[in-house]
Amino acid sequence: MLVQCQHCGQTVKVDGLGRKRLNIPLKKVCESLQAHHSVAAAAQELNCSQGYIFGVLKANGLRLKDVIEKQGSLPK
């Protein structure tokens, strides 16, 4: 993609606009939730949003209550 520079006015080629994917493994998300019992605290530890955590759980067919209550067994 070609973008015009705000400072000099020349066209500059730019690749990969936007933020890169986080790709935090489900196991890390579950361990963090079980350790903190709070989505906000887990999100802060993993440096992601609370919505990202809910999205990861939903994509894997899990509910927050199930993950927090199951201390011994983590999904693979």
pLDDT of residue 39: 95
Displacement of CA 55 from its chain's centroid (Å): 8
pLDDT of residue 70: 75
**Residue 57 in contact with residue 44, Cβ under 8 Å?**
no
Displacement of CA 11 from its chain's centroid (Å): 33
pLDDT of residue 58: 95
**Residue 63 in contact with residue 30, Cβ under 8 Å?**
no
Tell me which residues of the chain have a pLDDT lower than 50. none
pLDDT of residue 25: 94
Q: How many CA atoms lie within 13 A of 56 on its CB side?
A: 23
